[in-house]
């Protein structure tokens, strides 16, 4: 991962900036359940699309990579929705 950060700094800067912006929105909307769920869905969708686009652009998109991104996105979505139900 460290090698990829140095190899594609702009790609990862966009990813990290989007996570930081989402975190700020989560903080400001922390008591609005519908907004939190919508933001979570948007962030997970962005992560999935960003990952697939990143690998497609760099010509290393494989079925394994797609399954990894989809699995992580679904896990994050389930965990986030579970968290919002218990808070």
pLDDT 10s digits, 27-59:
999 889 899 999 999 999 999 999 999 999 999
pTM of the model: 0.87
Residue ranges per domain, the chain?
Answer: 2-86
Q: What is the pLDDT of residue 3?
A: 84
Q: What is the pLDDT of residue 85?
A: 77
DSSP symbols for 46-80: HHHHHHHHHHHHTT---HHHHHHHHHHHHHHHHHH
* CB 44, CB 76: distance < 8 Å: yes
pLDDT tier for residue 87 given thresholds of 50, 70 and 90:
low
């Amino acid at each position: 991962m460290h090698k990829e950060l140095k190899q594609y700094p702009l790609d990862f800067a966009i990813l990290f900036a989007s996570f930081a912006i989402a975190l700020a929105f989560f903080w400001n909307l922390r008591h609005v359940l519908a907004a939190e769920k919508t933001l979570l869905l948007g962030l997970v969708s962005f992560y999935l699309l960003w990952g697939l686009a990143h690998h497609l652009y760099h010509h290393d998109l494989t079925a394994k990579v797609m399954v990894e991104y989809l699995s992580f996105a679904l896990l994050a979505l389930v965990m986030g929705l579970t968290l919002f139900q218990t808070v």
